[in-house]
Amino acid sequence: MDSNDTILGAIDPEITERLVSRRDAIRQGASMSTKVAAGLAMASVPIALAAMTKDAFAQAPASVTDVLNFALALEIFENEFYKAVLGTSSSAAQNTAFAPVRAQVPAAALPVFQQIQKHETQHVAFLLANGATNSLNLTADSFDFSGNRGSGVPGSFARATTELQFLLAVAQGAEDTGVRAYKGQAGNLLASGNRAVLEAALRIHSVEARHASKIRRLRRANGAPGVVKYSGTISGGGAAAAGAGNITPAPDATVVAAFNAIYGGEDVTMQGSVSITGLPNLPAGFDALAASEAFDEPLTKAQVIAIVQPFFKPTLA
């Protein structure tokens, strides 16, 4: 192997010479080991996986349209949030509100927000083109990013408009909520039988995870504590996983409660009946935090609505 080449990057998407050189593979495939053959013959569900949590599917089955509409509302929320931060909202009031924090965004972070916002706009367009309806008629003015549903009194999240560290923590929470929301809806899309929409949803889901990872890295490089992992993963659960220790004064009880909901249950170390910390061959120092990082957890639609409703003026259902 040429050490100057990436081991994967330069491969023609078609099968090219590699298939030619796979004759050993072909030959050996024709005489697969009996152990493998025995394993393949066993189509029943392994006992360990039969106990996989069903919490995410305790919710009532939803139609594809319901899932798409729910996803659209979340994407519009994220899109309008980033547009307000960037000063590109169609609402002058939203742009004005975020002007103080906008002035604090480092030049290096600007293209990050722009790239994320671009994707949220693309997601909105994709969902609208594939069956979603903006039934709540959401616009830039449908949101109260201070978290008080437009009551006229600024909510506890108003600090995101004036404090960079607070803004970044909120952005991280919004992205992670998106990741958890899509994960929680995968079962509904599977049940619907619409595998094309399922694949698209999975592909949006992983983009949201990339966003959340990058925001963590921005925060860590700007003084956030070690629980905000450079690997971009969610370490532990509840408010502690938000890593808000670099925010002074400390977030109030309303914000802490929101972080508790956003990261609630992310600290599980059991997957099905398997204890992740009890597995063999783990590296030295592998602990419950590492186990929590290795698996992301879903949220139900009701859990997601409870988190985001304070930022929506219309009532979500």
Site for another protein in 141-160 (CB under 8 A): none
- Please report, in angstroms and rounded to a whole number, the separation of the first and last CA atoms in the chain: 56
C-beta of 193 vs 249, nearer to another protein: 193
CB of 22 to another protein, least distance (A): 6
In angstroms, the CA 136 to CA 126 distance is 18
Considering only residues 34, 42, 58, 153, which one is a binding residue for another protein as defined by CB under 8 A? Answer: 42
Closest distance of CB 284 from another protein, Å: 10
Smallest gap, in angstroms, from Cβ of residue 181 to another protein? 11
- Parallel, antiparallel, or unpaired: how do β-strands 270-271 and 274-275 relate? antiparallel
CB contact set of 1 (below 8 Å; sequence gap of 6+): 7
Q: Does 87 bind another protein (CB under 8 A)?
A: no
Q: Which residues 6+ apart lie within 8 Å of 94 measured at CB?
A: 80, 83, 84, 140, 141, 143, 145
With CB under 8 A as the contact rule, the residue among 256, 288, 290, 306 that binds another protein is 290
DSSP per-residue letters across 110-127: HHHHHHHHHHHHHHHHHH
Return the H-helix or E-strand segment holding 92: helix 92-97
For the bound state, the minimum distance from the C-beta of residue 94 to another protein, rounded and expressed in Å, comes to: 22
Our finding on whether 22 is near another protein (CB under 8 A) is yes
Distance CA 204, CA 198 (A): 10
199 touching another protein, by CB under 8 A: yes
Selected range binding another protein among 97-105, 141-149, 230-238, 309-317, rule: CB under 8 A: 230-238
Q: Residue 200 interacts with another protein (CB under 8 A)?
A: yes
Based on the shown chain and the rule CB under 8 A, indicate whether residue 279 belongs to the binding site for another protein.
yes
Torsion of CA 13, 15, 19, 21, to 10 degrees: -60
Helix, strand or coil, per DSSP, at residue 263: coil
Residue in 34, 36, 152, 253 binding another protein, rule: CB under 8 A:
36
119/159 with CB nearer another protein: 119
Among 62, 81, 82, 120, interactor with another protein by CB under 8 A? 120
Whole-number Å distance between alpha carbons of 169 and 171: 5
> Is residue 280 involved in binding another protein (CB under 8 A)?
yes
Cα 159-163-169 angle, rounded to 5 deg = 80
Q: How many chain residues are in contact with another protein, going by CB under 8 A? A: 114
Q: Does 233 bind another protein (CB under 8 A)?
A: yes
